[in-house]
Chains A and B, each alone.
Chain A
Amino acid sequence: MSLFAKKLLGVSVATALLGALIGLYVAAWATSQPPTISASTAPASSGGNRLTLMTVAAIGPKYSPTHPDWVSYLVRQNGKWIHSTNFSVPAESVIHVTIDQYDSPTGLRNAFLSQVQGTIGGTMSVDGKTVTSIPPEETSHTWVVPQLGIFIPLPGVPEEAKNACEFAPCEGAAHRTVEFSFYSGKKGRYRWQCFVPCAAGFWNGLGGPMQTVGYMDGFLNVV
């Protein structure tokens, strides 16, 4: 083997190694997803299968060093708030959901989504009061699973509220509590999303967190 070939071989091996490292990085990037939180791990005292969620105006540096000012959902597991939007719930069962809503209203682009649909009884409770719809302009976020027909509009904390939460964690700040139950039905992997253009800084409020799993989008695994 000539010197030239040896050099070339060395370069090729180095390139292959570099390529493998880059490949590993890309694979890690492509497959990275938020953890899946199961509703059945909720304590029995909360009534069985329960998802406890929180929406915040900004996720804050504690939960997301890369996008601290993105609007986001959080989910509670074992008393701790976790930055994830992937949930799993058991099939053919009643699921209870509590959403603590800490964000101010933005308003819907399609007012149709202000009506509650797909829950047991077709209603939800807002701070203990049972409603079938909320004024579209008071909507702050929605929790919608289109393939299951679940449409939940979430009312915002009034702008003039005293101790509004700037970024997560938000416990103790002014909030609205929304509660509802739905029947999970068949097994499957469904997506859920927010329909309110709530992504500050993006065109029409529809980019960034509105299009990123882990913020305003996620999966609902019915298992």
Chain B
Amino acid sequence: MSTSSVAAPAPQPIGRPVWRRLLGFNLLTAVLLGVGGYYLGWWIGHLINGPSFEYETATDENDVALLLAYTFGVIGFLIGLGFANYPISRLLGRPASLREKESEGIGRYFGLCTDHKVVGMQYMVGIGVFFFVGGLNAMLIRAELLKPVPTFVGPNQYLSLVGMHGTMMMGMMTSGVLGPFANYFVPLMIGARRMAFPRIESLTFWLLMAAGFILVSTIFFGGFPTGWTGYEPLNDQAVMGMDSYIVFFALVGISMALLGLNMMGTIITMRAPGMTWSRLPIFVWSVFATAILMVLAAPMLVATLLMAALDRTIDTSFFVAGGGGSSYLFENLFWFFGHPEVYILALPGFGIILELIPVFTRKPLWGYKLAVSGMLGVSLMSFFVWQHHLFVSGINADLRPFYMLSTEIISVPTGFIFLCVMGTLWKARMTFAVPMLFCLAWVFNFLIGGLSGVVLSDVPTDTGLHGSFFVMAHFHYTIMGGLIFGFFAAIYYWVPKMTGLRFNEMLAKWHFWLMFIAFNSTFLPLFVLGLKGMPRRVSTYEPALQGLNDWVSISAFVLGISMLIFIFNVVYSLIFVRKPAEANPWRSKSIEWQLPTPIPVNNFEQIPVFDSDPYDYGTPLQIDGGGSGQPATAGA
């Protein structure tokens, strides 16, 4: 694989009139073509969905038209961004070019760009926006739950808010770490100049953005009542807003599968000389483990949603009991994707924590191989546990001991991660910079999440907890406490490298402490509410539980305020103050910190040669173990 034939970045002609610059393949064209495609699909849908489909014409709901409209809209959007140009030029026999649109300037952030660092920044901002949209939904949900009777949110809208919050977070945040940080840092860490498939890399981002807008557009079509799980046959009954969910998740699935494929391709084929598998930074390993899950699990989701879309439009009966289908089929297919999905969310968190802790403890990563096997073990095991979501459903009841065992076994490789963290902390020289604070909080949060998971994996105790707030608290501890804390650790750790600017330390500390305390204050009482028998996804509950619910709601608002502090810090530090960051503020030995800021388009003038892993910290002792002990030679 040649890395030297890089097209020189074409300088942007300055002084062209604005109208001339607006012509061409850019975001404006993309939006226009997207809207055009939407109405084209809508028109075709109404054309073909004629009187032969009696179910559809009896009402103003036309699922065929909306599904086609979304599909054509997305295709138009991607063509407008220029994703068709390269395939067409190849079809016309033009020579292959390696990369495109790698100009300087802010414009490259608003279009197809094949520079993995630009895509990383695009992901960071794009996902951040949708993360806050999802968070605002949660604020509305908690505001409604201040009182045990329905107050200001209508019951239909309440379920739509719950669904949008869950779907947005589960869909968008799957790429929450892989999108910004893996795209940005994996090529740097393995000594590559680009990703294996740079255009696909950009495609995954723009697919995700299109998906996000489609999901929020559900409120124009009546919302959807199913939550993020989209269980059939409720899915089949729902109004057109359900189609937004289906298209959203299908696009996310495609984006995830492509992202995973790209990461696997890059990590397998594009490592620099000397970057052996046993020297791979642990973050890259976690990305690799996640990528395996993405490639294997996401297509299942897309197929399931296609079946659901067929059930909704042309009255197939994959999931309808009366027609030979089964509601169990959807549950099985969905969770066969859905359980790996939650590890897709958790694994990058593991990677970030293990990558950062050695830097702040000034020690090598303790138990590197154990950590790798832990992550690969979680990755593999996560395909064998999905039926624990169906413990009380009555399907395969005799197999429950197996799923109980497999679910509990998955805590063994997860335990490896804890051991590695604890081993690295042993006799460490810890400094408590903000990224380290988030890492330490992760240990506590994921511990609570993991232990509550054991209670849920046990059928007798799960009987009382399934479908209750306990489950909700559990997965918020693992996903928010695991992934989002890792996500913020990564932001505070790496953004100074990505932007060359430093965050305000005091605001960052306020953000951390408020977030950590409010997070625990929000979700610990939810365990109690679940144990007291409060089901999930309800807007009314027993009046006796109002006190705890109010406590949770107020804590949730404080959690929201901590996020506002973060936004304020971003605006204040990165836009107004713009204090340049030190070249290597954390004294990290990882290669990305040895590169100049900003990192040049091609990353390395010469491809680096590695002769150790990046955890070369610490005073060698005569205790057993010990790595190569030689300094890493960074390229550049």
Query: Contact between B152 and A31 (Cβ–Cβ < 8 Å)?
Result: yes
Contacts A31-B153, A189-B150 given: A200-B161 contact, CB under 8 Å?
Answer: no
A102 to B622, CA, bound (A): 91
| CB-defined contacts of B136 to chain A, threshold 8 Å | 23
**B237 and A206 form a contact (CB under 8 A):** yes
Could you mark each residue 5-45 of chain A with 1 if its beta carbon is under 8 Å from any beta carbon of chain B, else 0?
10111001000000000010010011111000000000000
A29 to B219, CA, bound (A): 8
* B578 to chain A: closest residue by CB: A5
List A contacts of B571 (CB < 8 A). 12
Q: Is B149 an interface residue (CB 8 A)?
A: yes
Are B154 and A208 closer than 8 Å at their CB atoms? no
Q: How far is the CA of A164 from the CA of B336 in the complex (A)?
A: 51
Contact bitstring B88-115, A, C-beta under 8 A = 1, else 0:
0000000000000000001000000000
Does B554 sit at the interface, judged by CB under 8 A? no
Q: Given the complex of chains A and B, what is the CA–CA distance between A32 and B152 in angstroms? A: 8
Answer whether residue A219 sits at the interface, using C-beta atoms and an 8 A cutoff. Answer: yes
Contacting pair A213 B59 (CB below 8 A): no
CB distance from A197 to the nearest CB of B (A): 10
Q: Are B575 and A9 within 8 A (Cβ)?
A: yes
Q: Which residues of B contact A195 (CB under 8 A)?
A: none
- Interface residue ranges of B281-324 to A (CB < 8 Å): 320
Given contacts A26-B219, A207-B239, contact A213 B56 (CB under 8 A): no
Contact B154 A70 (CB under 8 A): no
Chain A residues with CB under 8 Å of B222's CB are 212
Cα–Cα distance between A204 and B575 once the two chains are bound (Å): 56
Docked pose: A66 CA to B219 CA in angstroms: 13
Q: Given contacts A69-B60, A189-B149, A219-B150, are A207 and B238 in contact (CB under 8 A)?
A: yes
Q: Are A70 and B59 in contact (CB under 8 A)?
A: yes
Contact present for A204 and B61 (CB under 8 Å): no
Q: A56-96: which residues lie under 8 A (CB-CB) from chain B?
A: 66-70
In the assembly, what is the distance between CA of A200 and CA of B88, in Å?
46
**Cβ B576 vs Cβ A33 within 8 A:** no
Q: A69-B58, A201-B55 are in contact. Are A12 and B575 (CB under 8 A)?
A: yes
Q: Count of A-B contacts with CB under 8 A?
A: 85
Instruction: State the CA gap A200–B140 with chains docked (Å).
Output: 33
- Contact check, B56 vs A201: say whether CB atoms are below 8 A apart: yes
Chain B residues with Cβ below 8 Å from A210 are: 237
Report whether B154 and A31 are in contact in the complex, using a CB–CB cutoff of 8 Å. yes
Q: Within 8 Å of chain A (Cβ to Cβ): is B155?
A: yes
Of the candidates B156, B237, B576, the one whose C-beta lies within 8 Å of that of A204 is: B237
Complex Cα–Cα for A67 and B59 (A): 8
Q: Is the CB of B154 within 8 A of A202?
A: no
Task: Tell me the minimal C-beta distance from B273 to chain A in angstroms.
Answer: 38
* Mask: chain B, 564-595; 1 = CB below 8 Å from A; 0 = not: 00000001000110100000000000000000
Contacts of B157 in A (CB 8 A): 29-32
Residue B236, interface by CB 8 Å = yes
Distance of A32 Cα from B59 Cα, bound (Å): 23
The answer to whether the Cβ of A211 comes within 8 Å of any Cβ in the partner chain is yes
A189-223 to B contact mask, C-beta < 8 Å, 1/0: 10100000001111110111011110001010000
Pick from A4, A5, A23, A33: contact of B154, CB below 8 A.
A33
Q: A5-B576, A9-B575, A23-B136 are in contact. Are A200 and B60 (CB under 8 A)?
A: no
B200 to chain A, nearest CB (A): 28
Q: Is B60 touching A30 in the complex (CB atoms < 8 A)?
A: no
Name the A residues within 8 Å of B496 (CB-CB).
none
List the B side residues contacting A68 at CB < 8 Å. Answer: 60
Could you say which residues of chain B place their CB within 8 Å of the CB of A23?
A: 136
Residues of B within 8 A of A219 (CB): 150
* Interface mask (A87-117 → B, CB under 8 Å = 1, otherwise 0): 0000000000000000000000000000000
B155 to chain A: closest residue by CB: A213
Docked Cα-Cα span, A211 to B55, in Å, equals 17
Provide the residues of chain B in CB contact with A202, threshold 8 Å: 55, 59, 61, 237
CB distance from B378 to the nearest CB of A (A): 37
Could you say which residues of chain A place their CB within 8 Å of the CB of B237?
A: 202-204, 206-208, 210-211
Contacts of B156 in A (CB 8 A): 211-213
Q: Which residues of A contact B140 (CB under 8 A)?
A: 30
Q: Could you say which residues of chain A place their CB within 8 Å of the CB of B55?
A: 201-203
B interface residues with partner A (beta carbon < 8 Å)? 55-61, 106, 136, 140, 149-150, 152-158, 161, 219, 222, 225, 233, 236-239, 320, 571, 575-576, 578
A contacts, CB < 8 Å to B: 1-2, 4-5, 7-9, 12, 23, 26, 29-33, 66-70, 188-189, 191, 199-204, 206-208, 210-213, 217, 219
What are the 9 A-B residue pairs with the smallest beta carbon separation, nearest first?
Answer: A201-B59, A207-B237, A201-B58, A200-B58, A203-B236, A30-B157, A189-B149, A33-B154, A203-B237
